[in-house]
Amino acid sequence: MKARYGIALTGAGISTESGIPDFRGPSGVWTLNPEAERRAYLRYREFMENPKGWWENTLARPGHNFSLGDIDNAMPNQGHYILAELEKLGIIKCTITQNIDALHEKAGTKNLLEYHGSVAKLRCLSCGSRFRRDEFDLEKLARENRLPPTCPKCRGLIKTDGVFFGEPIPGDVAEQSLEAALKCDLMLICGTSAVVYPFASLPRIARQRREVTIIELNAEPTPLTGEGVSDYLLRGKTGEILPRILEEVKKLTR
């Protein structure tokens, strides 16, 4: 098969190799601390009911990097770099990630859809504009009692770009992801459990087309494996499997 439009879907499994914990794995953040998961389900409502208070509480927390662990200092691993290389070679046209850690961006991926947002960005809830975190002096706004931050384009409410439970997937990302799933003839699914919706619907949407080949790279089988959505399952770490795929691609393109 000669793929014309390959895409990659990535989940927490690709970033655990960079030291970022997952949520639902055997040693996941929420597996070990169910109370943290319960609180996560309340964040969107708390933000919408009192955005000023939410920002004040968030900025008062040490580190307040809006995510898990020392995520700002995390570095991409082989998996991230190989996907960026496959993009440069024209094999992967688009990477759609569940991860908010910005590691694909750090690794050099250009055509990137961050389905659940990015820890490195803020987003306007009115016009959808995204901004780098350092475009706002959040601590100064807090000192001057000018929270929540507002959009410089439309004066709308600014929140972190990460998508909270109960918050709709931003329309631009949802639409572009759906278009890619409908268009692709090759889909690499890297390190996702395929149980979080609507992201998990993308492989199933792609499967409706006979022309698509779907390959899972995962430590364990997923519902996609059991349902016959994927054509192949390559078991192991993405950082070990993807380099082998790149080697084969280079052999075929010599």
Among 160, 178, 209, the domain-final residue is 160
Please give the residue range of the domain that contains residue 130: 26-67+121-160
- Is there a single domain that holds both residue 204 and residue 125? no
| Model pLDDT for residues 76-89, shown as the tens digit of each residue | 999 999 999 999 99
- Is there a single domain that holds both residue 36 and residue 16? no
In angstroms, what is the C-alpha Rg of the chain? 19
- Is there a single domain that holds both residue 95 and residue 217? yes
SS3 238: helix
CA distance 215 to 237: 14
User: Structure pTM?
Assistant: 0.91
- Is there a single domain that holds both residue 151 and residue 180? no
pLDDT at residue 37 tops 80:
no
- Is there a single domain that holds both residue 90 and residue 211? yes
The CATH number of residue 37's host domain is 3.30.1600
CA distance 103 to 15: 8
- Is there a single domain that holds both residue 150 and residue 103? no
- Is there a single domain that holds both residue 199 and residue 237? yes
Ranges 64-73, 102-111, 186-195: which has the least confidence: 64-73
- Is there a single domain that holds both residue 132 and residue 61? yes
Q: What is the pLDDT of residue 67?
A: 46
| Model pLDDT for residues 209-232, shown as the tens digit of each residue | 889 999 999 999 999 999 999 999
CA distance 75 to 179: 30
Among 110, 140, 160, the domain-final residue is 160
CA distance 43 to 46: 5
- Is there a single domain that holds both residue 34 and residue 110? no
Assess contact for 109 and 80: CB atoms under 8 A: yes
The CATH number of residue 89's host domain is 3.40.50.1220
As given in the structure block, the two tokens for residue 174 are 């949802």
Domain count across the chain:
2
> Which residues does the annotation mark as catalytic?
116
- Is there a single domain that holds both residue 146 and residue 211? no
- Is there a single domain that holds both residue 59 and residue 150? yes
| Model pLDDT for residues 99-120, shown as the tens digit of each residue | 999 999 999 999 999 999 999 9
Query: What b/e readout covers 127-142, taking b as 16+ CB neighbours within 10 angstroms?
Result: eeebbebeeeebeebb
- Is there a single domain that holds both residue 45 and residue 126? yes
If we measure between CA atoms, which residue out of 214, 189, 217, 243 comes closest to residue 81? 243
CA distance 83 to 122: 25
- List for the chain the helix, strand, coil content (%; round to 5): 40, 15, 45
CA distance 31 to 22: 9
Label residue 174 exposed, middle or buried (CB < 10 Å: 0-12, 13-18, 19+). Answer: middle
Among 141, 160, 179, the domain-final residue is 160
